[in-house]
Amino acid sequence: MSFASPFPLLNRFVAERVGALRYLLALFRLVHAASPRLLVTSLTLRLVRASLPVLMLYVGKLILDAIVAEHARPHPAGTGLDAWLADPALRRLAGLVALELGLAILSDLLGRFSTLVDGLVADLYGNAATLRLMRHAAALDLAQFEDSAQQDRLERARRQVTGRSNLLFQLFGQAQDLITLVSFGIGLAAYAPWLIVLLAGSLVPAFLNELYFNRQGYRLAWTRTPERRQIDYLRYLGASVESAKEIKLFGLNTYIADRYRALATKLLADSRALAIRRAGWGGAFAALGTLAYYAAYATIVWRTVAGAFSIGDLAFLAGSFQRLRGLIEGLLLGFSQISSQAQYLEDLFSFFDVVPLIRSPDRPIPFPQPITHGIVFEDVGFRYPGTEIWAVRSLSFHLAAGEVLALVGENGAGKTTIVKLLTRLYDPTEGRVLLDGRPLSDYDLDDLRARIGVIFQDFVRFDFTASENVAVGRIDERDDSHRITRAAGRGLADGVIGRLPLGYDQPLGKRFAEGVDLSGGEWQKIALSRAYMREAEILILDEPTAALDARAEFEVFQRFRDLSRGRSCVLISHRFSTVRMADRILVLESGRVVESGTHAELQGRGGRYAELFELQAAGYR
């Protein structure tokens, strides 16, 4: 027969607290990996500092007792330094004062050095944690990036990569204070052990109060993550060079400011309500602890007057009790804060636990050199996560080795989805994509993507130098200036870069000092150069000339025909003057191939391609 716990809420509360602490070991490992030597130094310093407070207080007691004893005996004949040195009791008193001075100086030096070491470790940890976050994020699937829940998780993890090393140092500080507390407790127990019980009992309610409100604070932060991401986005829109033109021209300043104000006011109201409740209850429990302290202090004074304690004992007991109260309160509240902050660690380390679904096999096969048969889509179907709509369905076609294949169709026909499947940004929901007869999943993922050069229509405009912007096509070759200039020439970016004040060393974009922004067409030439920088076996251009004028487009594809020889190429464009240069054209509609052939063949059939071609040609007549 089983019985329900009489304190289910308390049990769950404690379980949440203790469960959150499991990430402290993972944090320790991460900090230790960042700087093992400095971490050991920090621990050693704290161990030494833990013994100093009780030593200083006990030396102070001895000084007071020695002074009181001096009042009970005749003073030496002289009052100068010689008289002090000649009197053993006064020499002992001077030695105690010198010892207390030395301990005070040592405590100050160790504290400052400890702060320095902790700061260095925190910086190293912040760098290490950020790099691990970046590497792990880069390994995740595109689907995991595009999911809003995963974006919330990533945002929470990003907020925890810096500053959480302080949690570990706070834990070390707790251990240091615990050693000091035990030292004070031993001394206090020799005189009045009941004082420790009184003190601890008066502070437990404040401790439980802090535990409760820390948990409420974490829950509020967790549930408000989507709103915080919206606030960050609105803050970016309202003060970003990338959005400045549209904001001004469309008069969006007031609209964005009003949306920001509404969200920020809502978050502020929630935080303020929680803070007021926390302050009220915290003040009440703090008053209870103060009452307990002064009750004990009055008892010590009364017993000193009664002759049970000496003046030195009074100072030692009063000081020990005061320090002990601060230490116990600090330990209880510190544990509350640590367990609260440990909950935020879950945001970081649970993100590290996210496993990508698209990975390399344990035993990948070598990438074919050269590609002999090509790429085959075999009855492929794909649905984006979270939707029941098929982006492509029953899709079958063959991209032969060395063939230039063009994909045409209206928006939403599945063209870009095909590219994502070909590059294994996604895996098919059904069917297979084969390379030389083997599924793409049989190849090493990094090796596969290294052999494919892709330029998407929404390519990234990196705020790097012109040279680096071209080199991102194969970033490990960024020091090969000859390869970079050759790729820039093939992509027609050499003329753009040649007009820049600093040439290939010119920073691009407006984000940083000396940055120079380019026109849309100029940026597109930079992006095209990245594809040529890769010198890949498979070349994919998704709307590569959307921002180019007619002359530049013609020049690009004249070079494209020459430079794509011997490579398998996929070309996506809405411009039929571009796609007619392909060896074969696939016409897509609702995720399926409805026509296939050369430009002349498709024109002769009078089907969907011919209809779209005529619609576009009519605009030029």
DSSP 334-351: HHHHHHHHHHHHHHHHHH
Residue type, 76: P
Confidence at residue 171, expressed as pLDDT on a 0 to 100 scale: 73
Given a cut of 60, whether residue 7 has pLDDT beyond it is no
Confidence at residue 201, expressed as pLDDT on a 0 to 100 scale: 63
CA 43 → CA 103, 110, 169, 319, distances in Å? 19, 12, 9, 26
Owner of token pair 């792990």: 136
Task: Kindly report, residue by residue over 495-522, the tens digit of the pLDDT.
Answer: 999 999 999 999 998 877 788 888 888 8
The percent of residues in the chain predicted with pLDDT above 70, rounded, is 76
Given a cut of 60, whether residue 213 has pLDDT beyond it is yes
Q: Taking Cα atoms as reference points, which of 12, 354, 329, 348 lies closest to residue 168?
A: 348
**Is-above-0.75 flag for pTM?**
no
381 is written with which tokens? Answer: 């179907």
Choose from 122-126, 151-155, 432-436, 533-537 the range with maximum mean pLDDT: 432-436
Given a cut of 80, whether residue 334 has pLDDT beyond it is no
Choose from 169-183, 310-324, 369-383 the range with maximum mean pLDDT: 369-383
Task: Kindly report, residue by residue over 37-54, the tens digit of the pLDDT.
Answer: 888 888 888 888 887 887
DSSP β-ladder status, 584-589 and 592-597: antiparallel
Q: What is the mean pLDDT of residues 294-313?
A: 72
Residue type, 7: F
Residue type, 603: Q
Confidence at residue 429, expressed as pLDDT on a 0 to 100 scale: 93
- Angstrom distance (rounded) from CA 296 to CA 290: 10
Q: What is the mean pLDDT of residues 25-31?
A: 79
Given a cut of 50, whether residue 555 has pLDDT beyond it is yes
Residue type, 360: S
Given a cut of 70, whether residue 78 has pLDDT beyond it is no
Q: What is the mean pLDDT of residues 179-186?
A: 72
Confidence at residue 438, expressed as pLDDT on a 0 to 100 scale: 94
Query: 103 or 61: whose pLDDT is higher?
Result: 103
Q: What is the mean pLDDT of residues 516-544?
A: 85
Strands, sheet with 584-589, edge to edge from the N-terminal-most edge strand? 452-455, 538-542, 568-572, 404-408, 584-589, 592-597
Confidence at residue 6, expressed as pLDDT on a 0 to 100 scale: 41
As annotated, the residues of the chain forming the CATH 3.40.50.300 domain(s) are: 365-451+538-621
Residues in contact with 488: Cβ distance below 8 Å, sequence separation at least 6, in sequence order? 470, 494, 497, 504, 526, 529
Other CB atoms within a 10 A radius of the CB of residue 102 amount to 12
Report whether 35 contacts 124 (CB < 8 A): yes
Q: Taking Cα atoms as reference points, which of 154, 156, 162, 84 lies closest to residue 121?
A: 162
Given a cut of 60, whether residue 168 has pLDDT beyond it is yes
103 is written with which tokens? Answer: 């301990």
Owner of token pair 């401790």: 207
Would you place residue 107 in the very low, low, confident or very high pLDDT band (cuts 50, 70, 90)? confident
Given a cut of 90, whether residue 431 has pLDDT beyond it is yes
Decide which of 3.40.140.10, 1.10.3720.10, 1.10.10.10, 1.20.1560.10 is the CATH code for 20-352: 1.20.1560.10
Q: What is the mean pLDDT of residues 256-276?
A: 81
As annotated, the residues of the chain forming the CATH 1.20.1560.10 domain(s) are: 20-352
Given a cut of 60, whether residue 1 has pLDDT beyond it is no
Q: What is the mean pLDDT of residues 59-88?
A: 68
Q: What is the mean pLDDT of residues 187-200?
A: 65
Confidence at residue 3, expressed as pLDDT on a 0 to 100 scale: 38
Report whether 103 contacts 59 (CB < 8 A): yes
**First-to-final CA distance of the chain:** 89
Confidence at residue 522, expressed as pLDDT on a 0 to 100 scale: 87
The mean pLDDT value of the chain amounts to 78
Given a cut of 70, whether residue 170 has pLDDT beyond it is yes
- Angstrom distance (rounded) from CA 568 to CA 165: 50
591 is written with which tokens? Answer: 């995720």
Given a cut of 90, whether residue 236 has pLDDT beyond it is no
- The domain 365-451+538-621 having CATH identifier 3.40.50.720: the answer here is no
Residue 6 CB burial class (10 angstroms; 0-12, 13-18, ≥19): exposed
Confidence at residue 531, expressed as pLDDT on a 0 to 100 scale: 84
Report whether 143 contacts 384 (CB < 8 A): yes
For residue 433, what are the β-bridge partners? 377
Mean pLDDT lowest among 30-34, 250-254, 353-357: 250-254
- CA 566 from chain centre, in angstroms, equals 43
Q: What is the mean pLDDT of residues 141-150?
A: 74
Would you place residue 162 in the very low, low, confident or very high pLDDT band (cuts 50, 70, 90)? low
Q: What is the mean pLDDT of residues 371-378?
A: 92
Given a cut of 60, whether residue 13 has pLDDT beyond it is no
CA 280 → CA 214, 229, 257, 286, distances in Å? 14, 31, 34, 10
Given a cut of 60, whether residue 256 has pLDDT beyond it is yes
Confidence at residue 9, expressed as pLDDT on a 0 to 100 scale: 44
Q: What is the mean pLDDT of residues 189-204?
A: 65
